[in-house]
Structure 1
Amino acid sequence: MSEALEPGSTPDLGLTAPPDAEGRFARLRERTDELELFISGLLAFALLAVPGRIFDAWATTTVHTEGVYAYALWFGFSTSVGLCYVVAVALIVHLAIRGYWVGLVGLKIHFPAGIRWDRIPFLGPVSRRFYQGRVGTLEQAIAQADRAASTLFSATLLFALTMVLIGAGSMLLLAVAGAVGALLGDTDRIAVIIVAGFFSVFLLVNLLPVVLEKWIARRTARGVPSAGLERTITRALRINQWLMPMRLLLPVQLTLQSNRYARNFMVAYFIAVMLAMTIGGVQAVSSMEFSLFNRYAVVTEAAVDEGMLSAHYESLRAERDQLLRYPMIPADVVDGPLLRLFIPHQPQRDNDLARRLCTSLPEGGNRLRGAAAETAAVQCVARFWRVTLDGRPVALDGFVAMERRDLEMRGVVGYLPLAALPPGRHDLRLVWNPGGPERGAARRRSYRIPFWYAPEASR
């Protein structure tokens, strides 16, 4: 039989901490610093090696897709690369702060008295008072470094969980939306509607409680009941609970937000997320540009566009040319009677043109089989490429469809006869979408490939 409660007492429902809770937390706290150092040291530098592999996987995969699937790959790439870099930098900073803390603790052990201000030479009373007010005691410095390291470590884990959920959730949503759109016959449009609808609901269930809480507060001040509005807020919060794992994220977020500067924490948190989302774009742009920061005043980008680009020559291509999917020849010096020219097919760029120009293919899709499929593919590609050799047109009718697994690309390839050409320099010029506009994704694109024909070199 349960004991009777004394007047004024409340029943223990298991919500109060046991008597030894402080002692157990203190014992755990003694090991927390070691665990932080172990986790940070294990992950900090390992994460810096991951973005390169993610970039390679994205670069070799995105060339095969278009539309919503390309967006899903881009979103996964940008979030994962940004996550690795931001978390790695934050953990390195955490290691530095925790190392500083270890040094302070060591000083405290060897010099228990801490800073002995009266023994510092060349320090007058005014300077001493100033430094004492700014620096404080050794114990205060240890406590501040400890608090900063633990706060940064927890915030970093919160950021990592948030980015993982954003990336994985968005990719899953885009994949499902793309699958539904493919079943209904209009992949991109239906996928955009589904994604836009999901994010609209997500924003609504997050903003609605904030707005309604303020409205309820004003109604309460006037003595007006708001039971219906309170039920609406509860329903919105329940929906949000299914969209966001509150029990995983909120213990860390609310603890940090309520014990640090709330607005500053949210601003820093938002900036970190936005920074992570832009790092992937910077990496992609830097891989396509020769240099993000340069001072080339003479040999400019316009000059090399009319000269030679290594991405046009298979023997000169490097890892950084992975995103430069240009027409290619084997080398800059040709000694044989035939010149192989490979023109890549890029779904993200070519499929829209195929839908408009290749009228023999329903909606730009090649559903033929056998030799007819290969012929239709070459004829379609020939409609949006114009090729000349030393100013003379080159017909693409004799080209064949080709799959290059060494380049992770498909396209068409042809072998141009060179026996009738004199030795020396010759210029291949290719124009994609000759009738296209000057700007935009479908703009006219020109490629110039100089090469030197040296038949005597083979002898």
Structure 2
Amino acid sequence: MNESPLAESRAPVAEVDPAPEATARFGRLRERTDELELFISGLLAFALLAVPGYLFDAWARSSLHTEGMYFQVLWFGFSISVGMCYVLAVALIAHLTVRGYWIGLIGLKSHFPKGIDWERLQHMGPVSRAFLKARDGGLDGSIERADRLATLLFSTTLLAVQTLAGTLVVAVLTLCAAMAISALAGGAERVGMTVVATVLTSLFALALVPALLERAIARRQRRGQSSDRHQRWLQRFLGAMQRIPLLRLMQAMQLTLQSNLRSRSFMVAYLLAVMVAMVLGGVQVLGSLKFSLFNRYQVMTDEAVEHGMLSAHYESLRSAHDQLLPYPMIPSDTISGSRLRVFIPHRPQRDNPLARQHCTALPGARNEATGMQAANAAVECLSRLWQVQLDGTPVDLHDFMPMERRDLDMRGLVGYLPTAGLTPGRHDLSLVWNAEGGTRGGDRRREFRIPFWYAPDP
């Protein structure tokens, strides 16, 4: 007996298992992932090594003009950005190396499907051959391990960069908020630093909230007490964290890696990479300040050259390596004209705190005068911070005047000392900043000696 069309329409439809289709789809996507990894790594790896140099130049130019919280914002931006570039570049180069090894193994597999032919290794002793053969996983195992390592390197690198980017955003926003609150409080930097410390402490406390609530829930459950309220608090807190896009992006990658690897080892390596990245900016700055980070100068020491000649004191000899050395300077080590130009840079990060103590005519070390009075006030203030002598004879800084040097990207005092009374030969210009300062700290006494040779035109 034939069934009616209505019965046919009501017949149950067999459900199709979506698993094979999803597996096939991800398999096709996986084939393209290796190509995408190689493309991204090759595009960025070596290009990123050039970026820290540009970032350093931008930071060095900007940091000379700032102090306090403004300087801290620039420093956080520079140090974390440089760290991201170096970590990403080095990790991607390592990723390219592993992927190259992986490609080489695949090529060997295509030509030598059986892998190592141990019987033809007659030069190898039987004991060594047996030992290595027992531990050989074949080309398939080596290919799988290389593929896995490359993927882990790529994913962990992206996770570290995301962490650094989030740290940079939080740090800059916190410092900007602290600057705004400090400005409302009359410019008190202590208020701004208190705000920063409070925010950082709060963020650290928030990171501990889930663990503390989980412990409280477990403790109440062991005692047979209701933990519904604590569970709701924890769920609301986790829901609020999920609203932060960066945390949601990092969560899938971090938890996948952490759950499939040794959790503790992964977290140690991950946090170590982040900390190293944040230190790299400081290492680059230290390398610019010092002649060489690694040297064996046991005779020509730093103390020796400081009492000799430094290129940073002579405009004709300065280079990009002297960019972070805003030292007093003269045009050259040989002077032939009738005047010796002396330029004393003004660095807000160093001079402003001292000016607030000594320049009593400028409330808060703020020069709010106009016209020629502004120039005179600037000279009067900075002359209290410096002492200058030429061959032991004091130089009156009140004869100097303010100057802006776009070629050096600096502002400061400039004076033209007469050379008519000088004899041909060597002479010494001595400058002292904060003569009454101590021997340590940012406001310590600083001495500068600039030897030059006077060779008048015949």
How high is the TM-score relative to the length of structure 2? Answer: 0.94
Distance in 2, Cα, partners of 1:372 & 1:17: 82
Farther-moved stretch of structure 1 (39-48 vs 297-306): 297-306
Residue 121 of structure 2 corresponds to which residue in structure 1?
120
Q: Offset of 1:179 from its aligned partner?
A: 2.4
Residue 108 of structure 1 corresponds to which residue in structure 2?
109
Give yes or no for contact 1:205–1:236 (8 Å, CA) kept in 2: no
Count of paired positions: 446
Give yes or no for contact 1:75–1:167 (8 Å, CA) kept in 2: yes
Q: Offset of 1:300 from its aligned partner?
A: 1.0
Q: Offset of 1:189 from its aligned partner?
A: 2.2
Q: Offset of 1:394 from its aligned partner?
A: 0.5
Give the aligned residue type for 1:345. Answer: H
User: Are the structure 2 counterparts of residues 338 and 211 from structure 1 closer, same or farther at C-alpha, using a change threshold of 3 Å?
Assistant: same
Distance in 2, Cα, partners of 1:29 & 1:357: 68
Distance in 1, Cα, partners of 2:244 & 2:305: 51
Q: Offset of 1:385 from its aligned partner?
A: 0.4
Give yes or no for contact 1:159–1:269 (8 Å, CA) kept in 2: yes
SS of the residue corresponding to residue 135 of structure 2 reads helix
Q: Offset of 1:18 from its aligned partner?
A: 5.4
Distance in 2, Cα, partners of 1:371 & 1:259: 71
Farther-moved stretch of structure 1 (241-250 vs 380-389): 241-250
Q: Indicate the percent of aligned positions where both proteins have the same amino acid.
A: 57
Give yes or no for contact 1:306–1:448 (8 Å, CA) kept in 2: yes
Give the aligned residue type for 2:405. Answer: R
Q: Offset of 1:438 from its aligned partner?
A: 0.7
Q: Offset of 1:113 from its aligned partner?
A: 1.4
Distance in 2, Cα, partners of 1:160 & 1:17: 35
Distance in 1, Cα, partners of 2:366 & 2:231: 54
Distance in 2, Cα, partners of 1:397 & 1:77: 38
Distance in 2, Cα, partners of 1:17 & 1:58: 54
The equivalences for 1:216-255 within 5 A come to 216-242=217-243, 245-255=246-256
Deviations 1:356-409 (A, max 9, x none): 000000011111111111000000000010111111110101100011111111
Distance in 1, Cα, partners of 2:188 & 2:87: 34
Q: Offset of 1:199 from its aligned partner?
A: 1.7
Give the aligned residue type for 1:94. Answer: H
Residue 445 of structure 1 corresponds to which residue in structure 2?
446
Q: Offset of 1:242 from its aligned partner?
A: 4.9
Q: Offset of 1:110 from its aligned partner?
A: 0.7
Residue 9 of structure 1 corresponds to which residue in structure 2?
none
Q: Offset of 1:177 from its aligned partner?
A: 2.0
The equivalences for 1:120-159 within 5 A come to 120-159=121-160
SS of the residue corresponding to residue 363 of structure 1 reads helix
Give yes or no for the alignment of 1:212 onto 2:240. no
Give yes or no for contact 1:51–1:84 (8 Å, CA) kept in 2: yes
SS of the residue corresponding to residue 419 of structure 1 reads coil
Q: Offset of 1:243 from its aligned partner?
A: 5.5
Give yes or no for contact 1:180–1:187 (8 Å, CA) kept in 2: no
Residue 166 of structure 1 corresponds to which residue in structure 2?
167
Deviations 1:155-178 (A, max 9, x none): 111111221221133123212321
The equivalences for 1:90-101 within 5 A come to 90-101=91-102
Give yes or no for the alignment of 1:23 onto 2:18. no
Distance in 1, Cα, partners of 2:424 & 2:245: 68
Distance in 2, Cα, partners of 1:243 & 1:409: 42
Note the residue ranges of structure 1 that are not aligned, 5 or more in a row: 7-11
Residue 193 of structure 1 corresponds to which residue in structure 2?
194
How high is the TM-score relative to the length of structure 1? Answer: 0.93
The equivalences for 1:29-48 within 5 A come to 29-48=30-49
SS of the residue corresponding to residue 402 of structure 1 reads strand
Distance in 2, Cα, partners of 1:209 & 1:95: 38
Give the aligned residue type for 2:364. Answer: E
Give yes or no for contact 1:313–1:328 (8 Å, CA) kept in 2: yes
Distance in 2, Cα, partners of 1:414 & 1:48: 42
Give yes or no for contact 2:162–2:246 (8 Å, CA) kept in 1: no
Distance in 1, Cα, partners of 2:451 & 2:247: 60
Distance in 2, Cα, partners of 1:310 & 1:227: 71
Give the aligned residue type for 1:216. Answer: I
Give yes or no for the alignment of 1:356 onto 2:357. yes
Residue 272 of structure 1 corresponds to which residue in structure 2?
273
Distance in 2, Cα, partners of 1:252 & 1:429: 60
Deviations 1:5-45 (A, max 9, x none): x9xxxxx9xxx965510000000111111111000000000
User: Are the structure 2 counterparts of residues 410 and 147 from structure 1 closer, same or farther at C-alpha, using a change threshold of 3 Å?
Assistant: same
Q: Offset of 1:247 from its aligned partner?
A: 2.0
Residue 388 of structure 1 corresponds to which residue in structure 2?
389
Residue 264 of structure 2 corresponds to which residue in structure 1?
263
SS of the residue corresponding to residue 307 of structure 1 reads coil
Give the aligned residue type for 1:452. Answer: W
Give yes or no for the alignment of 1:415 onto 2:416. yes
Residue 309 of structure 1 corresponds to which residue in structure 2?
310
SS of the residue corresponding to residue 327 of structure 2 reads coil
Give the aligned residue type for 1:302. Answer: E
User: Are the structure 2 counterparts of residues 231 and 204 from structure 1 closer, same or farther at C-alpha, using a change threshold of 3 Å?
Assistant: farther
Farther-moved stretch of structure 1 (30-39 vs 164-173): 164-173
Note the residue ranges of structure 2 that are not aligned, 5 or more in a row: 1-8
Distance in 1, Cα, partners of 2:182 & 2:311: 40
Give yes or no for contact 1:398–1:414 (8 Å, CA) kept in 2: yes
Distance in 2, Cα, partners of 1:279 & 1:193: 27
Farther-moved stretch of structure 1 (309-318 vs 122-131): 122-131
Residue 177 of structure 1 corresponds to which residue in structure 2?
178
Q: Offset of 1:88 from its aligned partner?
A: 0.3
Give the aligned residue type for 1:84. Answer: C
Distance in 1, Cα, partners of 2:66 & 2:53: 21
Distance in 1, Cα, partners of 2:177 & 2:232: 32
Distance in 2, Cα, partners of 1:187 & 1:117: 76
Q: Offset of 1:192 from its aligned partner?
A: 1.6
Q: Offset of 1:203 from its aligned partner?
A: 1.1
Residue 55 of structure 1 corresponds to which residue in structure 2?
56
Q: Offset of 1:244 from its aligned partner?
A: 6.5
User: Are the structure 2 counterparts of residues 57 and 98 from structure 1 closer, same or farther at C-alpha, using a change threshold of 3 Å?
Assistant: same
SS of the residue corresponding to residue 135 of structure 1 reads coil
Distance in 1, Cα, partners of 2:61 & 2:27: 51
Farther-moved stretch of structure 1 (244-253 vs 329-338): 244-253
Q: Offset of 1:132 from its aligned partner?
A: 2.8
Give yes or no for contact 1:114–1:137 (8 Å, CA) kept in 2: yes
